[in-house]
Amino acid sequence: MTKTILIINGPNLDMLGTRQPEVYGHDTLADVEALCQRIAKEEGVEIDFRQSDSESEIMGWIKQSRGKTAGLLINPAGFTSTSIAILDSLLIYDAPIIEVHISPLFRRDEFRHLSYVSKAATAKIEGFGIRGYDFAIRKLAELANAR
């Protein structure tokens, strides 16, 4: 297994920077990826950075990465409170999982408070903007180095 962290971004995160900047800020997904690349280099790990609006594509990525990645950072976005199918894929993943959300879900619409992903996650980081990705990569790198 390589020390690669799979980073999955869910639906509409490709619209960061223009979609509801009062909620998500002005950083773009390219800014998030640049941050992740920088932190990964500092921590001595590789990243595989992806985004999809497709639930089935996300499920495929999770299943294909079993035994091949040291950890998974997932921002499930709109699938957070709706996808039992992604939860089922995460439950068969064999390395640490950190769920990340840019905005604090507990301050959003009540239907967003439920996270199926949390039921499989090792940890959850929310409400720190894109810095949550920084924290998650550092922790996943620490866990990978301890394995």
Question: Which has the higher per-residue pLDDT, 102 or 26?
Answer: 102
Is the model's pLDDT at 22 over the cut of 80? no
How far apart, in Å, do the first and last CA atoms of the chain sit? 11
| pLDDT tens column, 30-63 | 999 999 999 999 999 999 999 999 999 999 999 9
| C-alpha distance from residue 71 to each of 93, 107, 144 (Å) | 9, 28, 7
* Exposure string for 44-64, b = 16+ CB within 10 A, e = fewer: ebebbbebbbebeebbebbee
Q: What is the pLDDT of residues 65-87, one digit of tens each?
A: 999 999 999 999 989 888 999 99
Give me the active site residues, please. 24, 101
Average pLDDT along the chain: 90
